[in-house]
Chains A and B, each alone.
Chain A
Amino acid sequence: MVARVAGVFDEKLTEAIANSKILVVGAGGIGCEILKNLVLTGFPYIEIIDLDTIDVSNLNRQFLFHKEHVGKSKAQVAKDSALSFNPSVNIIAHHDSVISNDYGVNYFKQFNMVMNALDNRVARNHVNRMCLAANIPLIETGTAGYAGQVELIQKGQTQCYECQPKAPQKSFPGCTIRNTPSEPIHCIVWAKHLFNQLFGEEDPDQDVSPDTADPEAAGDAGASALRTEGTEAGNVERKSTRAWASETNYDPEKLFSKLFGDDIRYLLSMENLWKKRRPPTPLTWNNLPGKGNPTAQHSGLPDQRVWSMHECAQVFGDSCKALQADLKNRPEGDHLVWDKDEKSAMDFVTACANIRAHIFNIPLKSRFEIKSMAGNIIPAIATANAIVAGLAVLRAQNLLKGETRACTSVYLRPKVNHRGQLFVPEKTLTAPNPKCYVCASKPEVALACNLKQLTLKDLNAAFKDGLNMQAPDAVVEGKGLVVLSSEPGETDHNNEKTLEEIGLNDGSALVVDDFLQNYEVRVILQQKDEEKSWRLVTDPDIPMPGPKEEKPANGSNGADEPKPGPSCSKEDSDSDMEIIEEDDTGEPAPKPPKRRKVGMNNEIVDLC
């Protein structure tokens, strides 16, 4: 069927294609297009992997899926659709996370190249490391609205995905979220945490109750009087929020009174917090503003209107009930996962975020706006995906012909720039960063921290969040002492010990490795008294992300900042960095290896 193309392609390319094996990671917007292009070009063997299932909001661009496929595996349906127009291709679909023991270095080694069509940084980091370890070329793609980009990652010849530190992902101090919100996003993060506390997976770092350990509240007479029930950890001692809610049968009025009444009054008692802030105003269920007002008529989408408090409370009640029912129908011990496209979950977060915003005198937002912020939605359209996927497969052809040097990075701009370019190409391959802590021959990085304060638990978080590891093991260099183990429970007893307490000092070196990523890095500790948490130091000229960075970088390297709606939490706010993320296609927050707890909510919350 591709007879005519055979005349256009030279023999070398035709043969290379006929003998190729390609792995496509992600079957979303770009993944569907890549699969179609590969099949119609005559690629005979393709494996495609995607953890996700099909959602209605995918249908505006993921053309291998139709309405009747909603809820089914993306990888499987993509395969079936592709086979229906060319049954002679060998396609293997995996409904699975690429971050899994099943896809180790040897798995990657069987392919000629890997094509990434992902939507999140965690999975991209992981595939980057697997391809480096397997020494397989990786074609990395991404889009955001009208913008997009394609780049080649080839060990030793180009930059890897992690050669340039990415713009730090915005995070918020825990006490801002729990005690002193000042922006809508703080309330939205709080509302998502509340969702998890009530219906999702409980995470101690996502507490929603007042934080009595807030340093700002220190020496607070009012609070200490009330703090009889306080604990050392700073959390008000009580049963888990979930257990309590369950006992009250998720009674909306009781939940409301606790969250938006009692807890706020408790915060008010921490008087130091309100010396230069406007204090919050607790709300009562039976006396809410907006009651009795007719719902304002609004043109445009129904969810673009800002709800009154009264409406918020109604929606809060309804969504609580719906979510409770959903939770009840699940097997014991199971939990809900927050999803921006799930009605009740989105309603719940909108209502809670706005009620809290009202209490703290923060401007309210419409459901539409909150969805953008809570879900970090990046606009996604068929056209840009088609463009980027077309380029990606043409790059794959270049690679198979051995024309690696032609595969420079290309950026698609939303409109022609002042130099008349719609596509901005790099002139040459971008050389690897010799100091890259991932792809250098002997990766090394310094970790600046206060050894007297940083605990092993914090260190583990630094390796995961800072070094993007999935399951780090750390050994003291030269001594063989295991300080962190990825085996469950093996080093947990040391979690609360500081680095100093276990005998580490300024200049100590750790060998840290991740068995899954085949990645090992030497970490040198640097004592910094003033460092509150930790900070990675590679090259003195390049600032590295630490956990406390709050300002997202605006300088876009690949694409414009997505419009509208700021993306503020960690989930996939990456579109303003080098690689543009494609919205919710491909792999969402990937399933980490079995040994780790599953975390759907990725905001970094620092305890301050």
Chain B
Amino acid sequence: MASPSPKSPEQSEKNKQYDRQLRLWGDHGQAALENGHICLINATALGTEILKSIVLPGVGAITIVDHNIVAEEDIGSNFFLDCSSKGLNRGTETLRLLLELNPAVQGHAVQEPTEQILQENPDFFKSFSIVVATSLGEKIIQDLAQHLWDINVPFILCRSVGFLGSFRIQIKEHAIIETHPENEQIGLRLDVPFPALAQYLDTFDIDTLDLKDHGQIPWIVILYKAVQKWQLSNQNRWPMSRKEKNEIKEIIQEFIRKDENGIPIEEENFEEALRAVNTALVPTFLPVKIQELLYCSSATNLTKDSLPFWIMCSALRNFIEAEGKSKLPLRGVLPDMTSSTEHYVKLQSMYRTQAVMEAEIVYRKVQEIVAQLHCESISETEVKLFCRHSHDLHLIKGSNIAMEYQLGSNSVASYIARYLEEPDVMMVHYILLRAAEIFRSEHCRAPGEWEPEADIAKLKTCVSRLLTDISCSPFPKDDHIHEMCRYGGAEIHSVSAFLGGCIAQEAIKIVTKQYNPVNNTFIYDGASTNTATFTF
């Protein structure tokens, strides 16, 4: 062979290292992660466990904000500290050991208190993909949350105290293109075939093909032919009901060739067609959820600052109203099927071509909008991805933690009260975690950290205040308050490890913009091993 030998693809060291996760979120997910910059406030055991699971898969950079000095008890529960760290800055020390996990990750440590940064240099937070905070008092939480809400940086507030833990995600608006739904509609447009497809489908005559070719007909052709035959006696309707679909199955059964003894010959493609009747004959439609998204004000009132997501939604709406004829763009993915390579490749390229064509129309419309608004351009790849997943777009509209913390008579208060009346013990834990933050804000330490007994009464006051704010009667028993004081703010490593994994997982979902993250609060009780989610 004279021609120069093609290089067998060398897998880069990086791709080898990340192979197992690339299979979950793909190259573009990895690229998004590598562009991510996570800020951690307070390198507690929980904080470092979160960063560990974000550093390992290769986030771009981390910044730790921590002015605390490493104490004896930090070393006991924090994997990223050793005895030599005692007396040194906690952020700097943990950063050093965290970065050892993955040399590709950039790291910074900032030794100023968060309060000071917020006052003197609030722009500091602007560049982060997510800010994660642990062990903060109520006052600073509210200020920080409000600021991050205003500058539109996602914020995850995390707590790990004794057997209790929680996280709260604050994100103004989070649009997810790749939601990875469990059941993806196939979307073959058999009910409204595009011209090339219709033409191709018509070239088949199931009854005249010889046996060899008969066993190679792709099942979507079989399905189409069966429906056509059915329509002859059904006013060209589309089969919808179970009964009608069973009639389609009967027609497919008739298509199957019989041997000389009249026994049906096993043909895999016809078996596949029978199995596909229930899923592949769903008529092409525009889901209500997507329709609402495309016609919401963010998509209809574009400005120069509109996010690419909304510009694409707007272009998609224009497409649906015009060329798309009320249909979303074709996904262009053909499921596996028994057939000859020729048929398969032909069908595949037909679907692909049509999908590309439709995505190009949407892309042109995007470009027009971009030109009109003079905003930043959006790549064709992005638009294609958007079109391919347009059936499953998802939008989360978040809420502000600062609002949640101003109880009074707002809807959050009645939401909490409803759960407390049930009574829901997980909401009781929420109250205690909030009370502990008020305590920290007022006494600059965790309840029970120095004097477990004396702090009980103080913590009880904090709880009462919260309960009064939401017009709830006091707890009948104090055992949860005692328990909280007994913890003394200490972290149990396994609880922090567990929560750290959960929070890192949600952070990665947010940074890669894939999968729907928790909206918006998660609470864990290690004593009863219960978990709950709430939407404040």
Contacts and interface: CB of A to CB of B under 8 A. Distances in A.
B23 A372 contact: yes
Interface residues of A, number: 95
A103 interface: no
Interface stretch (A93-101, A242-250, A314-322, A597-605): A314-322
Contacts of A313: 1
A276 B79 contact: no
A60 B72 contact: no
Contacts of A480: none
B484 to A, nearest CB: 11
A40 B103 CA distance: 25
Contacts of B530: 425
B505 A387 contact: yes
Contacts of B15: 301
A9 B211 CA distance: 74
Contacts of B16: 56-57, 341
Nearest to A9: B492
Contact of A420 (B215, B267, B336, B532): B532
A85 to B, nearest CB: 6
A416 interface: yes
Q: Tell me which of B22, B56, B267, B488 has the highest count of chain A C-beta atoms within 10 A of its own C-beta.
A: B56
A278 interface: yes
A415 B505 contact: no
B216 A278 contact: yes
B6 interface: yes
B134 to A, nearest CB: 16
B493 A41 contact: yes
Contacts of A415: 515-518
Interface in B7-26: 8-11, 13, 15-24
B447 interface: no
B377 interface: no
Interface string A391-407: 10111011000000010
Interface string B16-50: 11111111100100000000000000000000010
B505 A4 contact: no
B272 to A, nearest CB: 12
B79 A318 contact: no
A182 B23 contact: no
B494 A37 contact: yes
A36 B2 CA distance: 56
Nearest to A425: B529
A140 to B, nearest CB: 16
A59 B504 contact: no
B3 A292 contact: yes
Interface in A1-45: 1-5, 7-9, 33, 36-37, 40-41
Q: Tell me which of B27, B76, B214, B528 has the highest count of chain A C-beta atoms within 10 A of its own C-beta.
A: B76
A338 to B, nearest CB: 17
Interface residues of B, number: 88
B397 to A, nearest CB: 16
Contact of A36 (B265, B341, B497): B497
B8 A416 contact: no
B100 interface: yes
A563 B216 CA distance: 28
Contacts of B57: 60-61, 381-382
A324 B82 CA distance: 48
Nearest to A302: B9
B52 interface: yes
Interface string A429-465: 0000000000000000000000000000000000000
B23 A3 contact: no
A384 interface: yes
A100 to B, nearest CB: 28
Interface string A413-426: 01110001111010
A420 to B, nearest CB: 5
Given A377-B20, A390-B497, A394-B495, A423 B488 contact: no
A292 B533 CA distance: 60
Contact of A397 (B23, B75, B494): B494
Given A146-B24, A381-B20, A4 B488 contact: yes
Contacts of A175: none
B329 to A, nearest CB: 21
A276 B1 contact: no
Contacts of A398: 529
Interface stretch (A262-270, A360-368, A487-495): A360-368
Given A379-B24, A415-B516, A362 B77 contact: no
Interface string B268-293: 10000000000000000000000000
B56 A61 contact: yes
Contact of B82 (A85, A315, A347, A560): A85
Contacts of A532: none
Contacts of B487: 8
A275 B267 CA distance: 13
Given A276-B211, A341-B16, A363-B345, A7 B490 contact: yes
A475 B72 CA distance: 63
A362 B341 contact: yes
A420 B533 contact: yes
A388 to B, nearest CB: 8
A378 B162 CA distance: 34
A160 B162 CA distance: 32
A60 B16 CA distance: 9
Contacts of A506: none
A386 interface: yes
B21 A275 contact: no
B529 A421 contact: no
A2 B212 CA distance: 73
A503 interface: no
Contacts of A63: 52, 56, 101
A560 B24 CA distance: 12
Interface in A258-300: 274-278, 286, 291-292, 295, 300
A389 interface: yes
A391 to B, nearest CB: 6
A219 to B, nearest CB: 15
Interface in A53-99: 56-57, 59-61, 63, 66-67, 84-85
A37 B23 contact: no
Contacts of A500: none
A384 B532 CA distance: 18
Nearest to A398: B529
A276 B265 contact: yes
Contacts of A146: 24, 505, 515
Interface string B43-65: 00000010011001110000000
Interface string A349-376: 0000000000001110001000110000
A416 B214 CA distance: 45
A85 B6 contact: no
A183 B267 CA distance: 15
B512 to A, nearest CB: 11
Nearest to A278: B340
A381 B506 CA distance: 13
Q: Tell me which of B11, B18, B265 has the highest count of chain A C-beta atoms within 10 A of its own C-beta.
A: B11
B315 to A, nearest CB: 23
A145 B24 contact: yes
A416 B519 contact: yes
Nearest to B493: A40
A410 interface: yes
B526 interface: yes
Contacts of B402: none
21 contacts: A3-B76, A4-B73, A4-B488, A9-B492, A40-B494, A41-B494, A59-B102, A63-B52, A146-B24, A276-B212, A286-B1, A301-B22, A311-B6, A379-B20, A379-B21, A381-B24, A382-B56, A384-B501, A387-B502, A394-B529, A420-B532
Given A57-B20, A415-B517, 8 more contacts: A37-B494, A40-B77, A63-B52, A146-B515, A286-B1, A386-B52, A394-B495, A415-B516
A-B pairs, top 8 by smallest CB distance, nearest first, are A390-B498, A386-B501, A387-B501, A302-B9, A383-B505, A379-B24, A1-B76, A40-B493
